[in-house]
Structure 1
């Protein structure tokens, strides 16, 4: 069954989907810019924990239940909107007030991978990634719609192939997340001005606010 999966079509499609900037990828870029490569990559594991739960849910048939339940969809949707609004506004305000500049100056002094102090700070970054992913009902429905397209027609036992496809997608998006984290870390190490760093952080926050608005206006 797994060998019947349309891998030649799945891999480029998944790569395009994973590389497209979204809330989590922007968050990883911001974490790379503010804290360095290692903390940003580590924090992204929170996102993939949420994705793994979604893939399991889709394999168990819960994705179809969410797609059919307007109440459940809207509850998760508005939680996601609220969290993205809060995170985006907080990021913009931090940039405007100059807090980002101070934080990144400390990061530059400490070196790559040391900008996040202590397990609690690392946990918070990972928790942010988890919440952004988990409170987006479109992500779960995307898995429910996207993954089955690459299964052979008429397949009856689809749980295992869906889990395999989900794991493959998570690997692909992890590689893309590493790219976003590396880009943020590279911008940090290039010695760009504090003002430019603040602008980049502010733009990330604005993008998150825009994504919140898009999610709010999307119909089920």
Structure 2
């Protein structure tokens, strides 16, 4: 299984791909800034659950089916566009608003704060990360195209090597997510001004709107 993968070529490409700012990495940065790195890393597990499902789908051949089906791709694509656009608008609209104030209004899932500290909405943030990752059909197609490039040409059985590549990519993405979360946590610890936080939130929202527009214009 391991010998059927070109690991030396895979890891540099995976690091470059995972480190490139995208919707989920921007969420990790924003969550780290608003809730701290631990909550941001915990929330990112939602993304990796979506990625694990995508890897399983690719190994089962469903990724190629999505790439070949115009109707399936269009349905998933516009679902992703709608969610990213909604999330972008919401992020811009709440830019600069204190996170604890928002969570008190939401009721923090009905739980009361303990010791005067707000309850972190990790489950909601993880669900948000999951939906952002799962609603992007390009991610599944990317796994379909990206992972097989690093299989040895003489590989006969590809399911296990594809799963190994998928697990390795998720590990690389996790390390990058930790970096983005740590950066957000560092900015939080430095006590950046409300104006700077508002600008960062607004930039994140605009970036998500841009990603929604990019996805809307992309073809299979």
Specify if TM > 0.5. Answer: yes
Unaligned runs of 5+ in 1: 107-113
Report the Cα distance in structure 2 between the residues aligned to 1:196 and 1:54, rounded to whole angstroms: 36
Deviation at 1:116, TM superposition (A): 6.0
Report the Cα distance in structure 1 between the residues aligned to 2:156 and 2:2, rounded to whole angstroms: 13
Count of aligned positions: 208
Verify the 8 A CA contact 1:67 1:73 in the aligned structure 2: yes
1:29 equivalent in alignment to 2:29 = yes
Match of 1:172 in 2: 172
Change (3 A) 1:199 1:160: same
The alignment partner of 1:65 has SS state of: helix
The alignment partner of 2:94 has SS state of: helix
1:56 equivalent in alignment to 2:56 = yes
Match of 2:119 in 1: 117
Report the Cα distance in structure 2 between the residues aligned to 1:204 and 1:185, rounded to whole angstroms: 16
Change (3 A) 1:115 1:133: farther
Name the Cα RMSD after superposition: 1.8
Report the Cα distance in structure 2 between the residues aligned to 1:170 and 1:115, rounded to whole angstroms: 32
Report the Cα distance in structure 2 between the residues aligned to 1:4 and 1:154, rounded to whole angstroms: 8
- TM-score with structure 2 length normalisation? 0.90
Deviation at 1:3, TM superposition (A): 1.4
Deviation at 1:179, TM superposition (A): 0.2
Report the Cα distance in structure 2 between the residues aligned to 1:161 and 1:215, rounded to whole angstroms: 29
Per-residue Cα deviation, 1:28-78 (whole angstroms, up to 9, x for no partner): 111001110100000000000000000000001111000000100010110
Report the Cα distance in structure 2 between the residues aligned to 1:143 and 1:174, rounded to whole angstroms: 16
Deviation at 1:4, TM superposition (A): 2.9
Per-residue Cα deviation, 1:114-161 (whole angstroms, up to 9, x for no partner): 97615xx21110000000000000000000100000001142310000
Report the Cα distance in structure 2 between the residues aligned to 1:100 and 1:74, rounded to whole angstroms: 37
Q: How does 1:39-188 map to 2 (within 5 A)?
A: 39-95=39-95, 98-100=96-98, 103=101, 117=119, 121-188=121-188
Unaligned runs of 5+ in 2: 105-115
The alignment partner of 1:99 has SS state of: coil
Q: Which runs of 4+ in 1 moved over 3 A?
A: 100-104
Report the Cα distance in structure 2 between the residues aligned to 1:19 and 1:103, rounded to whole angstroms: 31
